[in-house]
Amino acid sequence: MNNFMTLGQFIIEKQAEFPYAKGELSRLLRDIGIAAKIVNREVNKAGLMDILGSSGTTNIQGEHQQKLDVYANEQFIAALRSGGECCIVASEENDEIIRIESAVSGNAKYIVAIDPLDGSSNIDVNVPVGTIFSIFRRKSAEGPARLSDVLQRGTDQVAAGYIIYGSSTMLVYTTGCGVNGFTLDPSIGEFCLSHPGMKMPESGVIYSINEGNYIHFPLGVKQYIKYCQVEDAATKRPYTSRYIGSMVADLHRNLIKGGIFIYPNTAAAPNGKLRLLYECNPLAFVIEQAGGRATDGANRILDLEVNELHQRTPVFIGSALMVSEAEKFMAAAGENVFAQSVI
């Protein structure tokens, strides 16, 4: 029999490394793992059920909600509610924060920000999707937790990670002591340690960006794309363009193989599109812990002030040298950052 370690065993063994080693964070991570198994089950049999397509509703961002968006959101909230360690959930799918005020959560100290199903529009075509989560400790000492407890910088995260539902299902997370990946073994229904101490290559040959929006990109991004396409043996260019349309899937590939993911601001969306609290911050935490880099094109993502629940930001994230190179192009563009001329 092969030796393996389950997610539960790993969390217990590493509990002493957690900032607050009293067991609550361990149980919270366990609850997220349980919900992930339930969502994985539905994702894998989506084609056999009436769970594909739009739910007929939109979320706060004005995006059409898929049926699986709604289902995943309900499952994660239910797991966090019943687990008793979470006092507030901030979800992409809900306009406002969700306070968990049941008796079991009366002394809960943790806040979870979550994108329940990233890339859900790809479900219909069998493309990998994912869940992104971020965990904070509440800062207020008394009374019900409040919105100000949620609006914390990325540097305040005590844990973060993602689940990718693909050819295999993986849960990848960090508590600030490195990054570890667990693959779901369907034969026993457990996440097992498969990728210990994950490290992102310092550089790579993959760039991930929706080039269909090229005409709307800032000048610095256009110039960086052209740089990626120029032949140069010393830097292994031209790089390979790979864009899935699911941030979790693109970043997971780049984490393992090396690469950069860019979702920039545009003249039409000067603040970018991706959400800071429950998309960019947790993934930035993971990538930095793996040795990568994450910025908005100039500033570290984890240092950005969070002023709104659904605040957006541009993001340049991935292998450290590639992100630094892209930042140079953004800095050189200066005030012409929104120049729309085709290069």
Comma-separated ranges of CATH 3.30.540.10 domains in the chain: 7-195
Average pLDDT over residues 84-109: 82
In the numeric block, which tokens belong to residue 72?
Answer: 């995943």
- Predicted pLDDT at 47: 58
Per-residue model confidence as pLDDT tens digits over 292-303: 999 999 999 999
- Predicted pLDDT at 285: 98
CB count within 10 Å of CB 298 equals 12
- Is residue 343 very low, low, confident or very high in pLDDT (cuts 50, 70, 90)? very low
- Predicted pLDDT at 166: 87
Say whether pLDDT at 204 is over 80: yes
Say whether pLDDT at 104 is over 80: no
- Predicted pLDDT at 69: 85
Average pLDDT over residues 47-67: 58
Structural fold of domain 7-195: Fructose-1,6-Bisphosphatase; Chain A, domain 1 (3.30.540)
Q: Which has more pLDDT, 194 or 22?
A: 194
Q: Which has more pLDDT, 262 or 68?
A: 262
Task: Round the average pLDDT of the chain to a whole number and report it.
Answer: 88
C-alpha to C-alpha distances, 290 to 109, 172, 262, 287, nearest whole angstrom? 27, 11, 18, 5
Say whether pLDDT at 3 is over 90: no
Per-residue model confidence as pLDDT tens digits over 215-237: 999 999 999 999 999 999 999 99
Comma-separated ranges of CATH 3.40.190.80 domains in the chain: 206-336
Say whether pLDDT at 117 is over 90: yes
Per-residue model confidence as pLDDT tens digits over 128-171: 999 999 999 998 877 778 899 999 999 999 999 999 998 899 99
- Is residue 209 very low, low, confident or very high in pLDDT (cuts 50, 70, 90)? very high
Say whether pLDDT at 63 is over 70: no
Quote the percentage of the chain above a pLDDT of 70. 87
Task: Return the CATH number of 206-336, one of 3.40.50.2300, 3.40.50.300, 3.40.190.80, 3.20.10.10.
Answer: 3.40.190.80
- Predicted pLDDT at 249: 95
- Predicted pLDDT at 25: 85
Can you list the alpha helix ranges (DSSP code H) found in the chain?
Answer: 7-13, 24-44, 67-83, 147-150, 219-229, 247-257, 281-289, 320-333
Q: Which of 68, 23, 14 is nearest to 41 (CA)?
A: 68
- Predicted pLDDT at 56: 56
Average pLDDT over residues 333-339: 57
- Predicted pLDDT at 103: 38
- Predicted pLDDT at 43: 85
